[in-house]
C-alpha cells in the first residue's frame, strides 16, 4: 500500500518527517512513529469521527484503516477548525494514551478509579461535616444494601469511578445515599436503580441527599490531593520546553484533575438547589 511504503521510508529518514506529515494532514501535534503504527494496527471497525466537513450534527465516520490506504495530501484542504474526535466505544484517556499515544481534552468518558474503602469514605464524610459515618462499620441493614450493590461480602467488586458519562459511579452513589440516610425503612424499600441514578432527586430525602453530595465533593478533594502537582503547576509545565512523552504524561494528569473539578462544580450546583432541611442536623 502506498502510504505504508511512504511511512516506512520516512521512518528510516527520521521521525521529524513523519511528525510533519501527520501535522500537516490532520492538524495534530507531532506524533511518534510508534504511536502511528499502533493506530494502523488496530481493527478495521475502529474509526475516527470527523466533524464539520459535511454536517455538524452527523459526523462522518473515518475508519482508521483508511489511513493505511490513501495519501494524506487530500486532507490538506480541510478547514483549520476541523475536529477529529476518536469514537472508539466509550473509552477513557487511559486507553487512548496507552494504545494510541494521545490524550483527548474534555473526554466525556474519562474517569478516575477508586477503591470502595470504608476508612477513606468515613474520612470524606467527616470532612464534609457528616457526624459519625458508618462506612467502615456498616449496620446489618446497611450491609444488606451494600451486598446487593456488590460492595460488601465475599467476591465484592470494590472498584468504583468518579467521572464518566454518569458523573458518579451508580453503586457508589447508592451506597452513599443508603449509608448516610437516617431512614432505614425508606432505604430498604427503595429501588436500587433509583438510588444509583444521579438524576433521581433526593430519593431518600433532602437530608440524606445533602450528606451524600457533600461527601462526594469531599472525596473529590481527597482525590485531587493525591496528585503530586496542582492544576496551575501542570499548566506551567506544559508551557515549558519538555519532551513529547513528558507533555503527554502531564496532559493526561491534567485532564484527570480538570474532570474532577468539573464534577465538583456539578455536585456543588446540585447541593445549592436542595431545600433548607438538607443542611439541618449536619
pLDDT tens-digit series, residues 188-246: 999 999 999 999 999 999 999 999 999 999 999 999 999 999 999 999 999 999 999 99
Residue 166: pLDDT band (50, 70, 90) is: very high
Lowest mean pLDDT among 17-21, 114-118, 164-168: 17-21
**Residue 81: what pLDDT?**
36
pLDDT tens, 266-277? 999 999 999 876
- Is residue 258 pLDDT above 90, yes or no? yes
Report the pLDDT value the prediction gives residue 12, as an integer from 0 to 100: 45
pLDDT class for 72, splitting at 50, 70, 90?
Answer: very low
Query: What number is the average pLDDT over the span 73-90?
Result: 45
How sure is the predictor about 43, in pLDDT bands with cuts at 50, 70 and 90? very low
Residue 56 has pLDDT above 90, yes or no: no
Residue 120 pLDDT > 50: yes
Mean pLDDT score, 116-137: 96
Q: Which domains does the chain have, with CATH numbers?
A: 2-88 (no CATH), 111-279 (3.90.1420.10)
The pLDDT, as a whole number, for residue 73 is 42
Taking the CA atoms of the chain, what radius of gyration do you get in angstroms? 23
Write down the pLDDT at residue 276: 75
* Higher-confidence position of 91 and 3: 91
pLDDT, residue 39, reads 55
What is the percentage of the chain residues whose pLDDT exceeds 90?
59
> What is the rounded average pLDDT for all residues in the chain?
79
Amino acid at each position: 500500500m502506498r502510504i505504508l511504503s511512504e511511512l516506512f521510508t520516512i521512518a528510516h529518514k527520521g521521525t521529524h518527517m513523519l511528525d510533519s506529515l501527520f501535522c500537516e494532514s490532520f492538524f495534530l501535534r507531532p506524533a511518534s512513529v510508534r504511536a502511528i503504527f499502533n493506530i494502523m494496527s488496530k481493527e478495521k471497525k475502529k474509526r475516527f469521527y470527523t466533524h464539520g466537513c459535511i454536517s455538524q450534527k452527523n459526523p462522518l465516520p473515518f475508519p482508521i484503516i483508511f489511513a493505511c490506504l490513501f495519501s494524506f495530501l487530500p486532507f490538506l484542504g480541510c478547514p483549520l477548525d476541523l475536529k477529529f474526535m476518536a469514537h472508539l466505544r466509550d473509552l477513557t484517556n487511559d486507553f487512548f494514551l496507552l494504545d494510541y499515544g494521545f490524550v483527548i481534552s474534555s473526554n466525556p468518558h474519562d474517569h478516575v478509579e477508586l477503591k470502595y474503602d470504608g476508612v477513606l469514605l468515613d474520612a470524606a464524610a467527616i470532612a464534609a461535616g457528616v457526624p459519625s459515618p458508618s462506612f467502615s462499620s456498616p449496620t446489618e441493614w446497611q450491609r444488606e444494601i451494600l451486598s446487593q450493590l456488590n460492595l460488601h461480602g465475599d467476591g465484592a467488586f470494590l472498584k468504583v469511578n468518579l467521572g464518566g458519562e454518569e458523573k458518579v459511579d451508580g453503586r457508589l452513589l447508592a451506597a452513599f445515599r443508603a449509608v448516610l440516610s437516617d431512614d432505614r425503612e425508606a432505604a430498604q424499600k427503595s429501588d436500587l436503580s433509583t438510588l444509583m441514578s444521579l438524576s433521581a432527586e433526593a430519593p431518600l430525602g433532602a437530608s440524606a441527599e445533602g450528606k451524600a453530595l457533600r461527601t462526594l465533593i469531599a472525596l473529590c478533594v481527597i482525590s485531587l490531593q493525591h496528585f503530586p502537582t496542582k492544576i496551575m503547576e501542570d499548566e506551567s509545565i506544559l508551557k515549558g520546553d519538555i519532551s513529547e512523552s513528558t507533555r503527554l504524561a502531564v496532559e493526561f494528569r491534567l485532564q484527570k484533575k480538570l474532570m474532577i473539578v468539573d464534577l465538583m462544580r456539578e455536585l456543588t450546583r446540585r447541593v445549592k438547589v436542595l431545600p433548607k432541611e438538607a443542611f439541618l442536623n449536619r
